[in-house]
Structures are given as C-alpha cells and as structure tokens.
Structure 1
Amino acid sequence: MRATEAAQLFSLLADVLSVGFSLREGLNFAHVMLPKQREQIKRIQAHLKQGNAFAIAIKTFVDLDCYYQIKIAEENGELTQVLTNLGNYLAIKQRQQQKIKAALRYPLAILGCLGILMVAIKQAILPELTSFNHTLVHMPVWGWWSLGTCSILLVLVGAGTLWLGHQPRLRRVVIGSYLPIVGPVLKLYWHYYLSLNLGLLLASGLQSRDVLKLLQTYQPESVLRQLADALHRHLNAGRDLGQFVDGYAFLPPTFKVFFNRGATSLQTAKDLKADAHLTYQRLFTHIENLIGLVQPLLFGVIGLAIVGIYLSILLPMYHAIGGLS
C-alpha cells in the first residue's frame, strides 16, 4: 500500500470511528469510498473475520514502526487518535514530497541547461580556438582537482549508504540523527514516536519495568525492541537512565525529567502524550521551513556552477585568444 493510499484509508477510518462507527463498519464504508483499495481492504476484513486484531490485519501494508504504533494504540483504546495522526502524517509527507519535486524542477532544469552549455563550448568552441592557436587548450589543474574531489565524494557517499543499509536499525537511526539538515527532522520524528507510544503503554496501567519487558517481546528488527534491549543491558550494568538518554542523540532530554521525578505511571503517560502532541506540531513546522530552503540552496549551487564554467572554460579561451595576438 502506497503512502497516499494508507493516508486516505487511515484518515477515513479515523473520521468514521470518531462519529461512532465500529471498525468493521468503517472498513465496509471504506470499501465503497476507496475503490482503488478494495483488494487491500478485503484482505484486512478477512483477517478481522478470522479474529485477528486490526494491527495484524494491516501489518503487511505498513512498515514495522507504523505497525507497532497501531498495535499499541489498538491495545490501549487510542486507535482513532493514532489513525488520525498517521493519516495526517502520511498525507502531509506526500504533499511535502510533491512540494520538493516542484521546487527542484526549475533549478534542475537550469543546471541541465548549464551542463549542455558546458559540453557545447568544450566540443564546438574550444577545438576551433585550438586549431587557430595550434596549441591544445587544457582544463586547468584545479579543474581536474575539483572533478576528482567530486568523484571521490560520490564514491564515499555511495559506499557509506551501502554500509549504513547493513547496520542494525537502531544504529541507522543514531547515525541519521547526526546528519546535517535531515538529522533534526529525524530527532523530532523519533521524539514524537517514542513519546506517544510510551505514553499509551503507561496509560494502560503498566509500570516502566513492565513496558520494558513488553517491548523486548517485539520483533528484533523494530527500533522499540532494539532500544529496549539496549536499555535493559544498560540498567543491568548499574547505570542510570540519564546516561542512557545522553548516549542516544535522538532521545529527547525530557525523558530524563519524566521518568526520574517519581511521578505515577498515569501522570508520566499524560506528560508524554502532551509532549508527543507538541512535538508532532514542531515536526511539520520544521519540515516546512526546510522545504523553503531547497530552492535558495539550489540557486546557490547554480551560481557556483556558473562561476565554475567561467573559470574552467572562458579562462582557457582567453589564453587561447591571447596566443593569437
């Protein structure tokens, strides 16, 4: 199921559940209103008829982190709110991707034209100047250095991406949180994700230790499971929670306050859910601000490309013309 389709389904289900529909009635309604998703909805309904939970029914259509968010919400009576958040998140994410594509279209077209111009000058004009001057026009040494540096950077980025893809999920999240530009977005997302899910679990009456044991029963590939395992090892070594939070860049410092002040599980759950709500709003505000920077950054790259064309092509042309005189 594509992100757009998931957003439509979750938003529709959240709307009908909020006005009193049961989950089965909501899926019947979605079957009529979303004709392109009828096959997926039929498979979900078949799971429910077999007595499976909605989270199990939707598992094959969403990623693992989304599945656990739905599972936790369903088990704690917050399915409507979480489906609303997921629907909004996926819909906004899709719109933002479209905005980024629209913002990239014009600058990339200009960069393409500059590339064609560079090739045309090198292939058509410089050979003519060389024939007049009887000396070969070479790319400056610094031009070759720049080309080599860019090539090495591309190789390093490609190798780093391949290496990162083979790392455990938790390590990928940690590394991603240190990256420029996208790092702050990832931190806000995981801040929201963890605050909401921990808040829902604690609101069900579980104590912190019980939540930790529950998370350790999740699939090994999930961030919640890997984080719970790491915390279990950390606490067994006699270290405190504050050190653990400080050791992971994507964990919010507010966790040290919420879990160390001796409040009841219900009060901590209330604080975590309020924190998740505020972080959810900050996340999308931050993403919108980043999208606004895309075009200015690309136009800066275009400016550097134009300067590079002048220095790497027009200067050799100047020297060649100087040789004619």
Structure 2
Amino acid sequence: MKKDKLTDDEQLAFIDYLKNSLKNGFSINSSLEIMPALWPKRATTLNCLSERMQTGASLADELFKLGFSNTTVVQINLSLQQGNLIECLEQLSVLHRLKHAQIRKLQAELTYPFVLAGMMALLLVFMQTFVVSNLGNGSDHSGDCLILVLVLCVIGGSSLIAQIVWLLKKQDYRSLTKLAKYPLIGPTITLYIRYILVYDIGLLLASGFSLQKMCEYAADQQKGSLQQALGLKIQKKLLQGQALVEIIKEEPFLPDSLILFLKTGSKRKFLSQQCLLLGKSLFLELTYQIEKMVVNVQPVCFVLIGLCVIGMYLKLLLPMYAMMQGM
C-alpha cells in the first residue's frame, strides 16, 4: 500500500542506518529488529519487514515493496550475493544525498521565479478586469495570443516534468531508455546508467565472474530492471556469435572505455580495478552535469517571465494605441 512506502528522505535514512549498523557488526536481521524502536513513526511498517525477514523473505523484494527503485533493489541484491553490501550501501547513500542536495538547490533556484510568476498572474487578472475592459478590446490581440502560447507552454512543460519524475521513480529499463531520449536531460540520464553498470561490472569482475556468468547472473535479477534487460540482451547477442567489442559499440548504455580495457588483455582483478576507477570518474562527471542542469533552470524561467511581461505590455498598450488612432 502507498502508506507503507518510504519517502525519499526515509529511504536515505534507512540506507544510512543499515550501513552503519552493519559496519558495527550487526547482522541484517538484528539491524531490522532494532530499527522500529529507533524509528517510532514507522514502527508498524518496520516490524512487518522484520517479521517477514525472519521467515526467510528476500531483502531486495521487501525493499521493492517499500518503494525503492528497481535499480536500487537490483544493486542491493547483487551486493548481497557478492558479500559487499556495506560498500553498495555507501554508494547508494552518496547517490541519494547527491539527488537530495540537487533537489533542494533546484527548489531554491525556482523560488524567486515562481514568486514573480505569481505576482504577474495577479497583475494580469487586474489588467484584464479593470484596465483592458475599460479601454475596450481593440482589434489587435497579439498580447492575448502571446500569453495564451506561454500558458500552453507552461502546461506542456508541467506535464513533461511530471512524466519525467514518474519515470525516474520507476527506474526500470524501459523508463530509463525513454528518459535517455529526452532532450537536455538525456545525456545526464545516460551518464547515470553508465555509472551504475560500470560499477556493477567492476564488482562482478572482482568476484571472479566471467562474461557469460555475468550475463546469466544479471538475467536472473528483478524482472524489467536495467541489469536484467541488458543481461538478456547481451547474452542473446553473444549466443548469436556477435563479438563483445561490437556489442559495446552498439549499446548506448555501455561506455566505449570498456573496449580499451578489453584490448589491454589484463586479468580480471586489474579489469575490476579499472572499471571501479572509471565508475568514480563517471560519478564526478555526473555530479558536474546535474549541477550544471540545475543552475541553468533559473535563466530559462526568467526568459519565460520576460516573454510574459512583453505579452502583458502588448495586452495593455495595443488597445490604447487603437483608441488613439480612432480619435
């Protein structure tokens, strides 16, 4: 049920608590048993989670029920089976904190434009009610047309943003593929996916997995998830006899840097270190791209507000100009 799902802030708190508890030597079940006492507001939900875990339920499946995304669930499932859950939780904690920090920054950037937009809406109502009605409608409706176009743009932009937020919450292969095709945010989404995949590949290589085993392992993960869909896709191409280099070139979610690593002919341990290092560089680039996107939001809003001001002036002045011509 929706009331049992954790919010984004609660998911971050859950990850941080579980990570710190495991670092202090507690098992997963012991950590979950203590959590309801430390989190009274969510005691009922956490008690149910602890009881299901005691009966042998999968942590990944339970986290999916609590509202965690497909990508997060699969990463936790992979780390559980590879024995590096603490490292995975640290990575997820960093990602969630980055997301929350950028959301807060975005809210701060949008506060001033939204206040201005509200004031302009009130001014527009005043002009329509008291000024334009007294001056007469006039024959030129350029101001009305511009404002109407801007209103339609705002409605379309709002629906687009709502769709993006919905797809980001799902984070399965289909939704991430759609997001990667969106203008402006597409390259950043692709960079995020590459970071996730390269990091997972590095962990699997460190555990001694071969390419075929990696594909089989990924194909057994949460149905519809990014890792499961790509695992099936790559496995199918390998069975058809396609070379790995060609597969990497054709798959937009796999960086070409992996081809260079393969050509060096290094052992799995060294390849794992290279992938993890590449993952860190991709994360730094991802951080930069997200900050750049957030900073550019406010100028775009001011451009739209400027166009609205022009529309309001046209709406006010053109009827006056028509009246002066009729004198």
| TM bucket, shorter chain | 0.7 to 0.9
Q: Which runs of 5+ in 2 are unaligned?
A: 1-5
Confirm or deny that 1:321 pairs with 2:324. yes
CA spacing shift, 1:5–1:21, aligned 2, 3 Å: same
Residue 268 of structure 1: aligned partner: 271
Letter in 2 for 1:35: P
1:290 aligns with one of 282, 286, 293:
293
TM-fit CA distance, 1:12: 1.6
Letter in 1 for 2:285: R
CA spacing shift, 1:143–1:271, aligned 2, 3 Å: same
Q: How does 1:176-325 map to 2 (within 5 A)?
A: 176-324=179-327
1:78 aligns with one of 77, 84, 89:
84
Letter in 1 for 2:18: L
Partners of 1:6 and 1:87 within 8 A in 2: no
1:51 aligns with one of 51, 56, 71:
56
CA spacing shift, 1:103–1:148, aligned 2, 3 Å: closer
Give the TM-score taking structure 1 as reference length: 0.84
2:21 aligns with one of 16, 23, 27:
16
- Count matched residues: 316
TM-fit CA distance, 1:175: 3.5
TM-fit CA distance, 1:154: 5.7
CA distance in 2, matches of 1:284, 1:35: 34
Confirm or deny that 1:106 pairs with 2:108. no
Residue 125 of structure 1: aligned partner: 131
CA spacing shift, 1:243–1:112, aligned 2, 3 Å: farther
Residue 40 of structure 1: aligned partner: 45
Give the TM-score taking structure 2 as reference length: 0.83
CA deviations over 1:43-82 (Å, ceiling 9, x no partner): 3322332234433443312222111100101111110111
CA spacing shift, 1:150–1:120, aligned 2, 3 Å: closer
CA deviations over 1:144-184 (Å, ceiling 9, x no partner): 3774697489669969959x97xx95344233223233223
CA deviations over 1:277-313 (Å, ceiling 9, x no partner): 3323332333223222222221222122212322343
1:3 aligns with one of 4, 8, 17:
8
Partners of 2:12 and 2:97 within 8 A in 1: yes
CA distance in 1, matches of 2:117, 2:194: 37
TM-fit CA distance, 1:317: 2.4
CA distance in 2, matches of 1:16, 1:170: 32
RMSD: 3.1
Partners of 1:174 and 1:250 within 8 A in 2: no
TM-fit CA distance, 1:206: 1.4
Letter in 2 for 1:26: S
